[in-house]
């Protein structure tokens, strides 16, 4: 079992897009386990996604396997996951892993408190080399070596050389890796050039390589003795990692709860204030504009992202819709946003003002027809 030794707890400053301010998060800068080091490089948030980037390093002598789709970000009794990808790091290798977590209910965007679960890490120590007999080369020749299957896929004889292509398939347990070290391969019957050096393969996967042989008249054969090995995979366990804004405290949460339950003075005619149009708060409004810009710059779907945002907030004013239209580069996108935002608008009686903010006549007519049917 992999033992854990948490590295020095320096805290990394991470950003969240909220209006024009940057919220900082507390998270360990790096975590060291036996054979594994994870260093966080970036954590950011928008109204539609969280982004968590880290550099993984194999500090041991075996193989580090990362199955990215198992990493989870938990909040509000829900979990979200990045897209699927799998990496194998050999001893001394490092890789920056980019994780985008799409916000999906019940997980909320721009949360003050999240839990990062670094699942999907496994480590395989080098297995003992497997002994093998020689394989005489020829079209379709095969050999079984422990949990590996060897097959000659091509065997072509030319005037000056023999070209051989072989496929090595690992049929071991899913919780193990097959290691192929072609530097140990022995070729008999002539001077040989092995094109590849070998690799590690998952269960059910194959590795192909070719050999060019200048024959000397003797029988052509290969010997996989000490070339192959099997490495059992052991799960690497990380404790859950708390990711919190620096302003988040239990005391603050308690104070907010207490404030919410305080008795409010009754409103009288003397103290009543004129009604105001319901709209997004300034911070939410600025965050939405910024997130639309980011989504556009990243080639995403800004209107769909804005729809998810408004599904949560449930309100926007006509004036805010008009302001946001200026963010879009294409008039077709402005029309699409205007139609999408209408159901959430608090002052629909003013929505005719949006029509004049579109550029093309056909889009103005399309929005007018849309409003007539609402």
Residue 311 lies in a domain: yes
Q: Are residues 9 and 115 in the same domain?
A: yes
Tell me, what DSSP letter sits at residue 34?
A: T
Q: Are residues 211 and 66 in the same domain?
A: no
Residue 282 lies in a domain: yes
121: left (phi over 0), alpha (psi -120 to 50) or beta: beta
Question: Per-residue pLDDT for 22 more than 50?
Answer: no
Supply the pLDDT for residue 253.
Answer: 53
Q: Give the helix ranges, DSSP H, for the chain.
A: 250-261, 282-297, 302-313, 318-325, 331-341, 352-355, 361-372
Cα 172 from Cα 202, distance rounded (Å): 8
| Contacting residues for 212 by C-beta, under 8 A, at least 6 apart | 161, 162, 163, 192, 193, 195
Residue 261 lies in a domain: no
User: Per-residue pLDDT tens for 75-126?
Assistant: 999 999 998 888 999 999 999 998 889 999 999 888 888 899 999 999 999 9
Q: Are residues 76 and 103 in the same domain?
A: yes
Q: Are residues 98 and 208 in the same domain?
A: no
Residue with tokens 């550029």: 359
Q: Are residues 92 and 144 in the same domain?
A: no
List the beta bridge partners of residue 51.
44, 100
Tell me, what DSSP letter sits at residue 309?
A: H
Q: CA geometry: angle at 35 spanning 32 and 41, to 5°?
A: 45
What is the pTM for the complete model shown?
A: 0.60
3-class DSSP state of 267: coil
Domain of residue 217, CATH code: 2.60.40
Q: Are residues 204 and 141 in the same domain?
A: yes
Residue 91 lies in a domain: yes
Can you give the residue range of the structural domain that contains 104?
4-125+234-245
pLDDT band at 248 (very low <50, low <70, confident <90, very high): low
Phi, psi of 357 (to 5 degrees): -90, -5
Question: Per-residue pLDDT for 3 more than 60?
Answer: no
Supply the pLDDT for residue 119.
Answer: 94
Most confident residue range from 101-105, 146-150, 306-310, 311-315: 146-150
Residue 81 lies in a domain: yes
Q: How many domains, the chain? A: 3
Residue 316 lies in a domain: yes
Q: Are residues 113 and 154 in the same domain?
A: no
Domain of residue 80, CATH code: 2.60.40.10
| Contacting residues for 35 by C-beta, under 8 A, at least 6 apart | 2, 58, 59, 60, 61, 62, 64, 123, 236
Q: Are residues 37 and 104 in the same domain?
A: yes
Q: Give the helix ranges, DSSP H, for 103-187.
A: none
Q: Are residues 120 and 50 in the same domain?
A: yes
Tell me, what DSSP letter sits at residue 265?
A: P
Question: Per-residue pLDDT for 308 more than 60?
Answer: yes
Q: CA geometry: angle at 233 spanning 231 and 237, to 5°?
A: 150
List the beta bridge partners of residue 73.
80, 116
User: Per-residue pLDDT tens for 172-221?
Assistant: 999 999 999 999 999 999 999 998 888 999 999 999 999 999 999 999 99
Q: Are residues 45 and 169 in the same domain?
A: no
**Quick check: 129 and 227 in contact, CB under 8 A?**
yes
pLDDT band at 345 (very low <50, low <70, confident <90, very high): very high
Q: Are residues 312 and 195 in the same domain?
A: no
Q: Are residues 212 and 312 in the same domain?
A: no
Whole-number percent of the chain with pLDDT over 90: 61
């Amino acid at each position: 079992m992999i033992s854990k030794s948490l590295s020095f707890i320096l805290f990394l400053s991470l950003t969240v897009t909220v209006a024009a301010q940057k919220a900082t998060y507390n998270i360990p800068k790096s975590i060291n386990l036996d054979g594994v080091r994870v260093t966080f490089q970036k954590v950011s948030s928008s109204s539609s996604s969280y982004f968590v980037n880290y550099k993984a390093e194999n500090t041991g002598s075996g193989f580090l396997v990362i199955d990215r789709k198992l990493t989870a970000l938990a909040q509000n009794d829900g979990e979200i996951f990045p897209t699927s990808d799998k990496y194998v790091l050999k001893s001394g290798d490092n890789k920056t892993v980019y994780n985008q977590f799409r916000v999906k209910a019940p997980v909320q965007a721009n949360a003050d408190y999240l839990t990062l679960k670094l699942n999907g890490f496994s480590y395989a120590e080098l297995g003992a080399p497997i002994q093998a007999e020689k394989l005489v080369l020829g079209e379709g020749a095969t050999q079984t070596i422990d949990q590996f299957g060897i097959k000659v896929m091509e065997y072509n004889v030319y005037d000056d050389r023999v070209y051989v292509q072989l496929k090595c398939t690992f049929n071991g347990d899913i919780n193990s890796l097959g290691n192929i070290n072609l530097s140990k391969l022995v070729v008999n019957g002539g001077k040989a050039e092995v094109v590849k050096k070998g690799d590690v393969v998952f269960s059910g996967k194959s590795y192909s390589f070719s050999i060019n042989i200048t024959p000397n008249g003797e029988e052509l054969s290969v010997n996989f003795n000490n070339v192959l090995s099997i490495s059992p995979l052991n799960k690497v366990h990380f404790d859950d990692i708390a990711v919190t804004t620096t302003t988040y405290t239990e005391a603050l949460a308690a104070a907010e709860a207490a404030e919410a339950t305080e008795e409010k003075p009754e409103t009288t005619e003397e103290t009543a204030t004129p009604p105001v149009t319901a709209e997004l708060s300034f911070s939410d409004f600025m965050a939405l504009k910024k997130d639309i810009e980011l989504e556009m710059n990243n080639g995403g779907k800004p209107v769909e992202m804005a729809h998810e945002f408004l599904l949560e907030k449930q309100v926007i004013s006509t004036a805010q819709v008009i302001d946001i239209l200026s963010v879009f580069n294409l008039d077709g996108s402005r029309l699409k946003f205007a139609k999408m935002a209408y159901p959430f608008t608090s002052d629909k009686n003013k929505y005719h003002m949006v029509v004049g903010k579109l550029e093309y006549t056909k889009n103005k007519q399309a929005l007018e027809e849309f409003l007539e049917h609402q």
